[in-house]
Structure 1
Amino acid sequence: MIRNVIGRPAYRLSRVYASSRDYTSRAPINIGILIVPEKEAWVIERLGKFHRTLEPGLNFCIPILDRVAYVQSLKEVAIEIPDQSAITSDNVVLQLNGVLFLKVKNPYLASYGVSEAEFAITQLAQTIMRSEIGKIILDNVFKEREALNFQIVQALGKASEPWGIECLRYEIRDVQVPQKIKEAMQMQVEAERKKRASILESEGQREAAINRAEGLKRSQVLESEGHQIQIVNKASGEAEAIQRLAEARAQSIQTIARAIGTKRGADAVQLTVAEQYIEAFSALAKTTNTVLLPSHSGDVASMVTQVSLINLGICPHFLQCQNDVSSIYYSL
């Protein structure tokens, strides 16, 4: 830590630079020629009154009349701001410390504008830090530390300008909160982590449900398309079967019609009708059914004769009718 670096008289020079360079405990003796090191400014008094400021390099002064009153370092200096208490806007007591970086801009004002400039800057930094902390809540102390540092530097710069000192930057180093507040903050962090974990888990479940629904939807669409194709194929097969059956029926009708027109066609018709008639009665006799029949239904010869007469009556027109039926079928 560098201390006692601003505005010290030349006769205390060894205390000013004890941490950076070794100097003798005596002030530079004015023998008429003075060599000022780089990044230093020597304030000269003549007969107790400010005379001029010596720049780095070779300088000439009048012995006895002129003396080196102050030696100002123009380098950037870091000053530690000790621990202090501050209260946030939500009434939380904090312990803070920091580091202030500054340099002498005007050696004359730094020498004569303020007494004990380092002490004054330290007190001013503590005051401004307490003031700025009191404007914000505890959470913003951690979230907006950079903005808080900038505001402190701006306030210090305005206040230290009459002293010839430029405040470059300020850094809050440590922030200590009460133990109960630490525990509450830890619980809050854990709760926030659990919340994020729950959100991520729910989002994963939602995505999984969406994927399952999309898969089910796709499977149902494919199943319906397959069922539709099956129905179409079945209907096509049934239509083709009906068409084939109709064609076979038409061919059988044509064959029967041609057979009826032959010499022994009528006898064949009578025989066929008699066989079908007997088969029908056999089927009725197998079960206990109540059926209304004509009085002469048991006379097979009479029934066959009636059918034969009907066939002989329609036979001349039968071939023409079946041809008409066949032509109508094929037109469909």
Structure 2
Amino acid sequence: MDDLVLTTVITDTKASEGPVPSLPGVSRLGLDGLIEQAREAAGLGIPAVALFPHIDPARKDAAATEALNPDGFVPAAIRRLKADVPDIGVIVDVALDPFTDHGHDGLMQGDVIDNDTTLDMLAQGAVILADAGADIVAPSDMMDGRIGVIRDALDQADHPDVMILSYAAKYASAFYGPYRDAIGTASALRGDKRTYQMDPANSEEALHEVAMDLDEGADMVMVKPGLPYLDICHRIKTEFGVPTFAFQVSGEYAMIQSAGQNGWADSERLLLETLNGFKRAGCDAVLTYGAIRAARLLKG
């Protein structure tokens, strides 16, 4: 259980709480639901929860203003978690897409991502999350140079012990659809993210990105999605020998759940078999929506 990380979708809007239709078995949770779920996870021995916010569209704008609100929903969720469930670690993404009205991970100049302007916001946002009590910040934006900027900002803000989990190899994948439904960016996204996420056919770029992120100060690296990129997980672990995480993303988990619901396959066996695949590939931890379910199965 100590190599599972529970991925959780939280919402600041009461009306948005409840099941995500495209992600069977997963619900958007308010803060009370988050605490209940985190307590169960901690009781099962799951060491950490990763938070992904669904933000009221009224709080979104092109400048991702809400991402820099120290009293906003995500910092409040972190503080509540650390107060009510102190035994569980808190991982929070650093990216702007939950807060932009265009659905992209960075600020836009026309139809182009403004990498350098985005970096400053990411650094400020990471410090706000650390101030709230996050144990690990996870830059998922894929902007160039963001790890070094965030590490410097955290150190200058007296957060040298807050770790960075870099989404170092994040592919421009078709497996993200249910997640975008869950956080409310699917309908807002203009264009696609292929200019800053990686080509699924390219494996060498992943090693290059990992090397850069480690040089800039990343403590751990992530491969996303997981199952289609087990070769990348293995190559990274073999080449660098650093803590290597995989993300069993929404599309992967939705397929497992849908197969079970339709009687096409045993979803419990599918879940454990895929998690075993990550471990064989060399992953030290796996982020999955099925962490609680897997932990229950492993406990018998």
Tell which structure's C-alpha radius of gyration is larger.
1
TM-score by length of 2: 0.21
TM-score by length of 1: 0.20
More helix by share: 1
